[in-house]
Amino acid sequence: MAIRLIVKDPDPVLRERAKEVTKFNANLHKLLRDMADTMYDAKGVGLAAPQIGILKRVIVVDVGDEHGLIEMVNPEIVEREGEQIGPEGCLSIPGLNGIVRRAQRVVVKGQDRDGNPFTVEAEGYLARAFQHEVDHLNGVLFTDIADEVYKIPESTGQEEEEE
């Protein structure tokens, strides 16, 4: 189990476009394991490689539903449908949440840790998580697209799930 340091805004790595993965090997497998460990340790529901300072198109997502942990390499949203508006937080922007408009349903295609192609159809919270993480791969933060950004009250300890 390896917990990586999560990069915080305004680190410039969060504003860069991540590079496509072309080598599916032990290093990628370790990166995916470390990303999942880091996400769970931070009590997040998603993590993109740039959030740990690595400019590769790799994400992990686990919103606590029947899908469990989803590892996706070179993810691409190929379909968007509907609209949802709701709160988001980010492990790279502690202390802030925002109200963000996202598609209600998305279809995401990518590759697994061995390079095999697969597709996920996601709705609701899972769709939101995928969109948030793919944005990270393109240098976009939720604060860039939020209708409203607000500080999380420290006294409650009740933060939104962070992605």
Please give the positions annotated as active site: 133
Backbone angles phi, psi at 40, to 5 degrees: -65, -40
Beta-carbon contacts of residue 116 (< 8 Å; ≥ 6 apart): none
Q: List, in order, residues 6 or more apart from 34 with CB less than 8 Å away.
A: 2, 3, 4, 52
